[in-house]
Structure formats: structure tokens, C-alpha cells
Amino acid sequence: MDLSIFVDESGDFDINSKHSPYYIFTLVLHNQNNNIESEVLKLDRHMLEKKFIKHAIHTAPLIRQEDPYKYYNYEERKVLFNQLYYFTLNCDINYHSFVYKKKEFSSKDKLISKMAQELALFIREKIDMFTMFDIVKIYYDNGQNEISKILNVSFNTLLTNVEFRKVYPVDYKLFQVADLMCTIELLSIKYQGNSLSKSEKGMFTTKEIKTMIKHISKKKI
């Protein structure tokens, strides 16, 4: 029995960055005994209908109407977002997000150290779950070296049944789900702090954001 963990992040390690005050990284966990093939095929069919062939949905530029969504109107972008959102709700998966307010740290190294500590604590708290699997497969696109190192050190130190695999987002829907989870976590923070951007307010109503947070949180561990 195998466990797949898909990892994605939102933010950068510039402590003083005003446009990116938070750093978030998310683990999406999938027991491979829980078949999601029908949901994957359904999402593929919807994507094909919208002429997105072999396309990975990336939610942040989708909301901001940036490339590759620059020439897609609100309705088209909302359909794509909702397809990934409902795919997530219908899949038997779980997730855990780590959220950091960067100004609370005096340096990049302090932030990275805190992230490593909290990931290790999460693994220890869930050790019975992790050790029940024959293999724990970690999928990451190696987008940020700091995350790659944290994942390698934390999982290899605490578990003996780990494999690491470089992922290409277009090949794995659950990696796209990890991206979505990061976005929803950030939306939740900004909604609670009354700091939603113009593009976020244009994409979602307050009721939609509250509903997303409520339903997605049921998958959190």
C-alpha cells in the first residue's frame, strides 16, 4: 500500500517583500488504494472541451488574469477554477498547509528553520499513519531548493520508506490540487484580514470564499 504526497508552495523567501507577505506550502496526501481515476477522466474531459489540452491549472495567475489566462474572460476562468475545485472535493484525499507571516521572522534562515521544525513535528504526530504504508512517495517539482531540502531532511530523517520523485504539474492532477490548496489558504487569510485584492474580489463573492473554506477544511488533517 502506497501513500502519495504532492507538495506545492506559494510565496518567496524575501522576508521584506510587500507583494508577498505570506509563505505557504501544502502537502496533499492520497492513499493510492483510493481510486480517483473516474474523477481524473472527468476533469480531463472538461479540459478538452475547453480546448486546454495537457494543461496544468495554475490558480494564482488564473485569478489575476495573467498568462496563460490573459485573454480568457471571467466566465472562462471561473469555469476552470471550479473544475479543479470540484475535482478536489470529489477526490478521497487529505491535505495539510503550513502558513507563515514572513514579517514575524528576522531572517530567511529563521523562516526556513521554523518550516523544517513544523514539518518534522507534523510527521511525528502522524507517524502511525505514515508507517502503515509500504512506500511514501513525495512528489515535488523542485521549484524552490529550500523546500526540496526541507522535504528531504524531514522525511528521510523520520521515515525509512520514502521515495522522492520530480513532478511535472501537467502530469498530475493532485499536484494542481496542492496549488489550489495554497491559493485557498491565502484567500482565507486575506478574507479574515479584509485584505482581498481587486482581482480576488472580482473573481469570488464573499459567500463563495466562505463556502470554499468551509468545504475544503473538511479534508484538512
pLDDT in tens, 149-186: 999 999 999 999 999 999 888 889 999 999 999 999 99
User: Over pLDDT 90: what percentage of the chain?
Assistant: 89
Structural contact between residues 83 and 46, judged by C-beta atoms closer than 8 angstroms:
yes
Question: What total of structural domains would you count in the chain?
Answer: 1
Q: What is the pLDDT of residues 88-117, one digit of tens each?
A: 999 999 999 999 999 999 999 999 999 999
Tell me the pTM: 0.95
Read off the pLDDT band of 214 (50, 70, 90): very high
Strands 135-140 and 2-10, by their bridges, are parallel
Please tell me the predicted confidence (pLDDT) of residue 113: 97
At 154, which amino acid appears? S
Q: How far apart are CA 137 and CA 6, in angstroms?
A: 8
User: Over pLDDT 70: what percentage of the chain?
Assistant: 100
**Among 16, 23, 26, CA closest to 112:** 23
What's the mean pLDDT when you consider all of the chain?
94
Read off the pLDDT band of 17 (50, 70, 90): confident
Q: What is the pLDDT of residues 50-102, one digit of tens each?
A: 777 778 899 999 999 999 899 999 999 999 999 999 999 999 999 999 999 99
- Its domain, for residue 163, covers 2-219
Q: How far apart are CA 179 and CA 189, in angstroms?
A: 16
The SS3 of residue 186 is helix
- DSSP annotation string for 161-214: SEEEEE--GGG-HHHHHHHHHHHHHHHHHHHHTT---HHHHHH--HHHHHHHHH
Please tell me the predicted confidence (pLDDT) of residue 169: 87
Read off the pLDDT band of 19 (50, 70, 90): confident
Residue 78 belongs to domain with CATH number: 3.30.420
Please tell me the predicted confidence (pLDDT) of residue 174: 97
